[in-house]
Amino acid sequence: MTTSLTAVRLGGRPDLPLLVLGPALGTSATALWGPCARLLGRDLQVVAWDLPGHGTNRVDPDAADDPLTVPALAAAVLDLVDTMAQGLHRPAFHYAGVSVGGAVGLQLALDAPDRLESLTVLGTTARLGDPDSWAERAATVRERGTEALVEMSSGRWFAPGFVEREPDRAAGLLRSLTDADDEAYAAVCGALGGFDVRERLGAVTVPLLAVGGSADVPAPPEEVRGLAEAVPDGRAVELPDVAHLAPAEAPEEVARLVREHALGPEQDAPGPEAEQLAAAVHAARAAGLTAAEVEALVRAALAGEDPPAG
């Protein structure tokens, strides 16, 4: 299976810091990250990638049939970023990924820590499932197609009540599952079956935020916390009433967490008093006041005194 990836630009100006978003198995970048990315695009250039055979990344039936691995996907992410950089040597970027997208993020942190400025993983643990369960799921998909997984995925992806509250969003995600190429989906199952970095977490030096949903079955909250505790600069956040696809279930909260982890807490906007003071200073300068007179006016305003006569 080819590991070439397709970039999906989801928002933000190209001069802003780059944030790369990774998908979950069976989802497209747009269906999973779209609502969240619109919020992140205010402060970051947001680019996602689609797994082979998912979303915009159609599989070439004549491509070499090599086994897919998480390290190969991580290397493909670096190739994608380097191609986008148009000659800029090895640019660093922020990264956030869900499930297999988070596993790719952990692999990036181990293989190319100098390339990551921050790492957020959602619904991700150092080992997702076990090889036998992934082999069983791959066999099911090869025999019956991804349509056979719709009911199971709906129950694992979404917390109770989400489908009723957001039917269009849920339907879009489940449609991305049924649209996924069966063989490509099975190949990603094989990649996840071979992923296990539990013994390497102490070597992760990138600042890590691990986000878990209280109702997440594939990545239980206690395992998400354990992941963060095993990383030297890691911390965990648990989202209530959220299951496996946090960016779709809680886009506002996920956008806030990812943004703050990447760029730091958002500064409060100036209050009306500050705006009035700035307007008064501008008017004083326009009226020809000297620098000393403007300074006296500002000092008086900050102290709550009447402005000096003049």
Sequence spans of domains, the chain? 6-263, 272-303
Residue 220 has pLDDT above 80, yes or no: yes
Rounded to 5°, angle at Cα 212 from 207 and 217: 140
Cβ(210)–Cβ(106) below 8 Å: no
Instruction: Write a three-state SS string for 187-239.
Output: HHHHHHHCCCCHHHHHHCCCCEEEEEECCCCCCCHHHHHHHHHHCCCEEEEEE
Rounded to 5°, angle at Cα 110 from 252 and 41: 25
Which residues, including other chains, have CB under 8 Å from residue 215's CB and lie 6 or more apart? 159, 160, 241, 242, 243
For residues 231 and 118, what is the distance between their CA atoms, to the nearest angstrom? 13
Question: Can you give the pLDDT at residue 298?
Answer: 63
Cβ(259)–Cβ(43) below 8 Å: yes
pLDDT digits (tens, 9 = 90+) for 233-258: 999 999 999 999 999 999 999 999 99
pTM, rounded to two decimals: 0.84
**CATH number, span 6-263:** 3.40.50.1820
pLDDT digits (tens, 9 = 90+) for 169-198: 999 999 999 999 999 999 999 999 999 999
pLDDT digits (tens, 9 = 90+) for 86-141: 766 778 999 999 999 999 999 999 999 999 999 999 999 999 999 999 999 999 99
